[in-house]
Amino acid sequence: MNLMRRLFITSVLLGALLALNGQSNIKFSVHADPQFAWLSSDEDRLVPDGSIFHMQTGLSMDLFFDKNYAFALGFGINNLGGDLRYTDSTMFVSKGDSIFVMPGQTVKHNLQYLDIPIGLKLKTEELGYGTFFLQIGFNPMININAFATEKGGSFEKENIRESTNLFNLGYHVGIGIEYRLGGSTAAIGGIRWTSGLTDVTDSDKANITMKAISIHLGILF
């Protein structure tokens, strides 16, 4: 985690320097997004059984190639997961040990990722003090933490990184508004939908993907 923190701080400083250097085609923002996340399964043996509420934090850089069109690049920490009810027995690996889940048990998955979203941002002309935008793109993510808790208390916060795929890919679609506060500084508000494209776990019993809906809140510099 020390390495992740250093990378995050370095990216923040880099973005701030780019903004301070007055690069008119580069905009820098920071955000903290409350979000609900849950897991989806393509098999009846694993049934989605609840969501988790957490935060997604990070920074973004908009690299404009036209007045109202930009490449969007981000870097942050994304907390995802959800509850799954198992109708068949399964096994997790935790630090080399085996953890068994019995039929009928519900397990809460808390998954943390290094999120590197990339995409396009389309903006309107400024209307009063506001500018509306649409953002679409992909979310390459690297797992940095994975914990499982059985809702009945048979195990709690077991590390299941060995049973969680290191890489995950999703996509996002979001809309929002940038409200100018003064100069180049603006408050950002919006809503964003994120959906996974690849399997979260290494289990061959089902394809487990992530879903999330978040309120996008930030400051643009």
Could you read off the pLDDT tens digit of each residue along the chain, which spans 221 residues?
A: 455 555 555 555 555 555 444 556 889 999 999 999 999 988 777 888 889 999 999 999 999 999 899 999 999 999 999 999 988 888 888 887 888 888 889 999 999 999 999 999 999 999 889 999 999 999 999 999 999 999 888 889 999 999 999 999 999 999 999 999 988 899 999 999 999 999 998 877 788 999 999 999 999 98
The Cβ of residue 126 has, within 10 Å, a number of other Cβ atoms equal to 12
Name 61's Cβ contacts closer than 8 Å, sequence gap at least 6.
15, 18, 26, 27, 28, 29, 72, 73, 74
DSSP states of 118-159? EEEEEEPPPBTTEEEEEEEEEEEEEEEEEEEEETTSS--SEE
Task: Identify the pLDDT of residue 206.
Answer: 81
Predicted model pTM: 0.85
Q: How far apart are CA 183 and CA 203, in angstroms?
A: 52
**Which residues have CB under 8 Å from 3's CB, separation 6+?**
none
> Which pLDDT score, from 0 to 100, does residue 95 have?
81
- Asked if 141 and 168 count as a contact pair (C-beta separation under 8 A), the reply is yes
pLDDT score of 89: 83
What pLDDT is stored for residue 6 in this prediction?
53
pLDDT of residue 1: 47
Question: What is the span of the domain harbouring residue 52?
Answer: 2-220
The one-character DSSP state at 161 is G
What's the confidence (pLDDT) of residue 169? 96
How high is the pLDDT of residue 8?
A: 54
For residue 170, what is the domain's CATH number?
A: 2.40.160.20
C-beta of residue 102 within 8 angstroms of C-beta of residue 91: no
Is the CB of residue 133 less than 8 Å from the CB of residue 121? Answer: yes
What are 89's two structure tokens? 């027995």
pLDDT at 91: 83
Closest CA to 139 of 85, 211, 39, 202: 211
175 Cβ contact list (under 8 Å, min separation 6): 132, 133, 134, 135, 190, 191
> Could you say which DSSP state residue 44 is in?
T
CB of 87 closer than 8 Å to CB of 105: no
For residue 60, give the nearest of 77, 71, 75 by alpha carbon. Answer: 75
The domain total for the chain is 1
